[in-house]
Amino acid sequence: MCNYCGNIYISTDFGSTWTPRSILSTWINNGMSSTGQYICASDSGGNIYISSDYGSSFILSYTNKMAMGCIAVSSDGSHMVACENQNNTNYKNGIYASADYGNTWTYNTNLSTPSQTGISIDSTGQYIAVSIYQSKYCYISNDSGITFTETTI
């Protein structure tokens, strides 16, 4: 994983060696499918980039102008989710979800509690859990991020 490192590093030999893949951005967060074929990455400018070729190249998938604080990708790469970075001045508590390998994104704003700090997705992309900073609540989706339900932990 990279976190403000300027590069995304790719390994094709199970971590023995690493190759930087830079794109003109300062990377904030990324997620990857189980095989590594699909990678979703965000930069400090609020852009989301997708790779479908094991990180050899990246394409701009979405421009938000709001940095993404966390990203998760399903096992096969078909489902991707990202949450807005709460340190941004225009923060809206939103979750972005894609069910088509990052080609299109849906914005969900029905989260009433701010400060998402983590996001997880199951292997199929159906179930998503969002953790909230210093809170007794989390949000759960069982429909691939279309809706979320606030749950007490």
CATH of segment(s) 18-152: 2.120.10.30
Percent of the chain with pLDDT over 70: 82
**Which token pair is 6?**
């300027």
Q: What is the pLDDT of residue 51?
A: 94
Residue owning tokens 């990324």:
30
Question: Higher confidence at residue 3 or residue 51?
Answer: 51
- pLDDT tens digits along 68-101: 778 999 999 999 998 876 655 555 667 889 999 9
Q: Is the pLDDT confidence value at 104 over 90?
A: yes
DSSP string, 72-134: EE-TTSS-EEEEE-TTSTT----EEEESSTTSS-EEE----S--EEEEEE-TTSS-EEEEETT
Q: Where are the domains of the chain?
A: 18-152
Q: What is the pLDDT of residue 100?
A: 97
Tell me what the mean pLDDT of segment 15-20 comes to.
Answer: 84
